Structure 1
Amino acid sequence: MELSTVWFLLIALLFVGYFVLEGFDFGVGMLLPVLGRDERERRVMINTIGPVWDGNEVWLITAGGAMFAAFPEWYASVFSGFYLPLLLILLALILRGVAFEYRGKRNDPVWRRRWDRCIVFGSFVPAVLWGVAFANIVRGVPLDADHDYIGGFFTLLNPYALLGGLTTLALFLTHGAVFIALKTVGDIRQRANRLAERLGIAAVLAAALFLGLTLARRATTPALILAVLAALCLVGGLIANRLPSRDDPQGRREGWAFAGTAAAIALAVASLFADLYPFVLPSTVDPVTNSLTVANASSTPYTLKIMTWVAVIFTPLVLLYQGWTYWVFRKRIGTQHIPEELVTPQPATR
């Protein structure tokens, strides 16, 4: 296997990890005002992702860096043609990160509500626009002979791409609701379970329509297999979410449910990359001449060789560290774990 293909697979793996991990904390952020009925419950929801949300974003940074080094033409065409959507995603992620850090700086309900809105907005925008961006990458965009994007912003907002955004939105909301149920106890856990059922129906319908249209355009056997497996995992996760837990009569099998939604997102993203290969960015102007492929968009073999050795050495270390982080913070939390002084406004002092 050529190194350019190896790096295409590695970039696909990085985006799979990013959407699975960042997907549930996007979902938690969007559901903050829905499931968090008071400040204590909102603190519980934020604390479920507090130790991991910034680490999840490392997957995106690494994927972008790998694209830049391994496929510079792909990186240049995507980041110039998709400049405005990617800028909006970046600004939303910055606003979201600032909101996580600043909402607890003042013990004031109005202050917290404003930052909570920033968390919702900063989670919603990437959840939609990542689906729009990847749908356009798979569908193809207008590229000229120099591989430059010649469309406009509204060219990217075609019906197929908007359906992709709706699909990622529904999947992340479902994934987030299941994660909240997995990580909490008490009333918020039960409400998250019930909400995951309703959101899951929308996610199944949107994902089935989007993947069906994708495969109808240019179906490959690996992409078809992965899409079917993604659908089965999503349905299986939703079924597990309805089954009573053996250990806790008050709960359900959230662990299996979360594994199902995580596998569904991973397989769906993998299906898109399988459908895309050997292209990295198809051209709708002249698919044969103007499209970017794994072969014509890659760096030199020497560059890919050096990158491969670096990845072999450091990737296992990063995975071990992030796995250790999730293990340390694996326990459930509830409102009883939030101190009273963190949720009760304090009187002003002179």
Structure 2
Amino acid sequence: MATPEFWFVLVTVLFVGYFVLEGFDFGVGMIMPMLGRGPTAEITEKRRRVVLNTIGPVWDGNEVWLITAGGVLFAAFPEWYATLFSGFYLPLLLILVALILRICAIEYRGKIDDPVWRRRCDLGIGIGSWVPAVLWGVAFANIVRGVAVDENKKIVSGLLDLLNPYALLGGATTALLFLFHGAVFVALKTSGDVHRDAAALAGRLALPATAATGAFALWTQLAYGKDWTWWLVGVAVAALLAAVVAAHAGRDGWAFLGTTVTIAGAVVLLFASLFPAVLPSTLDPAWSLTVENASSSEYTLRVMGWATVIVAPVVLGYQAWTYWVFRRRLSVADIPKSIGLAR
């Protein structure tokens, strides 16, 4: 537990957990307007509440994975953390602002019983879901591709350098994959009309999500991958195709498992393609940050290891228990009438 390689693997695991769990959170926020349409204002509001309630008990717990990943990155790889957050300041700030907007919109949506207020909150949920879904793909694609890191471990490239074709494809891939992941999750967690519409939406999203994911995985492998990472490409694409087939057959649980494996495989592919670097330099390979020159001392890593052994099982157990408690499917019939709509 005191080796930089162990902590690199742990960072990978934390981001796998974050993108799998927050991935369907983002997807639900993005598709809520699509699934929240009804013949009357009352039905529309109830459908939107059903969609939002699928993530209601878990979305804030899912965000803990990002906080933990950032904390581990800061403690285990301070050079990586400092260089990354200074050079990617604007996109990471936009992600943070979007996440704050989404948090406020979800928490305060039901505090004022007014249709205009709820529409504004729904807009905040949408923006707070779309922006991170796209920018996370752009950011991680640039990390794998490499940026202009100089001999002082500073990123000297500008914002426009981050908007290259590979990164833009990465952003489109994460957005489409999270949309599909979210639609499958809503289908898994609901019944009735909302379930039917979510399953139909998942079917429409299957082709663009598969095309973008396949193209991005293949580009990553050919340009930055290693000989042994081809199997990760195969796992990710095969799992996504299995999810498409399962969703078409109405096997919601298997479809969700497929999208989960796809996202996990894609994240592992990115980190595996990156290793042993953590932030490649496009100016000079000798200036790249690696797991060795960017890590903390052995003593720091050892202390962090013991803390992880003690705390991690408790956190994982609590989150698993939360998902078990709120495992039941939801429908419009479970949503009480709003006071404002009853007037």
Q: Distance in 2 between matches of 1:285 and 1:102?
A: 47
The answer on 1:51 being equivalent to 2:57 is yes
Q: Distance in 2 between matches of 1:42 and 1:218?
A: 42
Report how far residue 197 of structure 1 moved.
1.3
**Identical-residue share of aligned pairs (%):** 60
Amino acid at match of 1:28: V
Match of 1:331 in 2: 328
Report how far residue 199 of structure 1 moved.
0.8
Partner SS for 2:5? helix
Deviation per CA, 1:207-238: give whole Å up to 9, x if none.
Answer: 11111111111221342211210110011011
Deviation per CA, 1:279-317: give whole Å up to 9, x if none.
Answer: 000000001x11000011000000001011111111111
Report how far residue 2 of structure 1 moved.
6.2
The answer on 1:171 being equivalent to 2:177 is yes
Q: Distance in 2 between matches of 1:198 and 1:3?
A: 45
- Give yes or no for contact 1:223–1:272 (8 Å, CA) kept in 2: no
Deviation per CA, 1:127-172: give whole Å up to 9, x if none.
Answer: 0000000000000000000110001111111111010000000000
2:269 pairs, out of 268, 271, 283, with 271
The answer on 1:161 being equivalent to 2:167 is yes
Match of 1:345 in 2: 341
Length-normalised TM-score, structure 2: 0.97
Q: Distance in 2 between matches of 1:339 and 1:89?
A: 34
2:80 pairs, out of 58, 74, 80, with 74
Q: Distance in 2 between matches of 1:230 and 1:221?
A: 16
- Give yes or no for contact 1:141–1:149 (8 Å, CA) kept in 2: yes
- Superposed structure 1 runs of 4+ greater than 4 Å apart: none
Report how far residue 99 of structure 1 moved.
0.2
1:305 pairs, out of 295, 302, 305, with 302
- Comparing 8-17 and 189-198, the one that deviates more: 189-198
Report how far residue 109 of structure 1 moved.
0.9
- Give yes or no for contact 2:2–2:302 (8 Å, CA) kept in 1: no
Partner SS for 2:54? helix
Q: Distance in 1 between matches of 2:101 and 2:192?
A: 31
Residues 60, 99 of structure 1: CA spacing in aligned structure 2 closer, same or farther, 3 A cutoff?
same
Partner SS for 1:150? coil
Partner SS for 1:190? helix
Match of 1:247 in 2: none
Match of 1:285 in 2: 283
Matched residue pairs, number? Answer: 337
Amino acid at match of 1:35: L
- Give yes or no for contact 2:24–2:182 (8 Å, CA) kept in 1: yes
- Give yes or no for contact 2:145–2:224 (8 Å, CA) kept in 1: no
Match of 1:85 in 2: 91
Deviation per CA, 1:182-224: give whole Å up to 9, x if none.
Answer: 0000011111111111111111100111111111112213422
1:220 pairs, out of 212, 223, 226, with 226
Report how far residue 341 of structure 1 moved.
3.0
- Give yes or no for contact 2:144–2:270 (8 Å, CA) kept in 1: yes
- Give yes or no for contact 1:44–1:334 (8 Å, CA) kept in 2: yes
- Give yes or no for contact 2:83–2:155 (8 Å, CA) kept in 1: yes
- Give yes or no for contact 2:2–2:301 (8 Å, CA) kept in 1: no
Q: Distance in 1 between matches of 2:252 and 2:50?
A: 17
Structure 2: segments with no counterpart, 5+ residues: 38-43
Match of 1:27 in 2: 27
Match of 1:249 in 2: none
The answer on 1:128 being equivalent to 2:134 is yes
Match of 2:257 in 1: 259
The answer on 1:235 being equivalent to 2:233 is no
Amino acid at match of 1:254: D
Match of 1:7 in 2: 7
The answer on 1:295 being equivalent to 2:301 is no
Match of 1:210 in 2: 216
Deviation per CA, 1:302-346: give whole Å up to 9, x if none.
Answer: 00010111111111111100000000000000000000135x436
Structure 1: segments with no counterpart, 5+ residues: 244-251
Partner SS for 1:340? coil
Partner SS for 1:191? helix
- Give yes or no for contact 1:107–1:346 (8 Å, CA) kept in 2: no
Partner SS for 2:315? helix
Length-normalised TM-score, structure 1: 0.95
Q: Distance in 1 between matches of 2:100 and 2:28?
A: 17
Match of 1:140 in 2: 146
Amino acid at match of 2:237: A
Q: Distance in 2 between matches of 1:99 and 1:43?
A: 13
- Give yes or no for contact 1:241–1:254 (8 Å, CA) kept in 2: yes
Q: Distance in 2 between matches of 1:219 and 1:112?
A: 46
Q: Distance in 2 between matches of 1:138 and 1:87?
A: 20
1:189 pairs, out of 167, 191, 195, with 195
Root-mean-square deviation over aligned CA pairs: 1.1
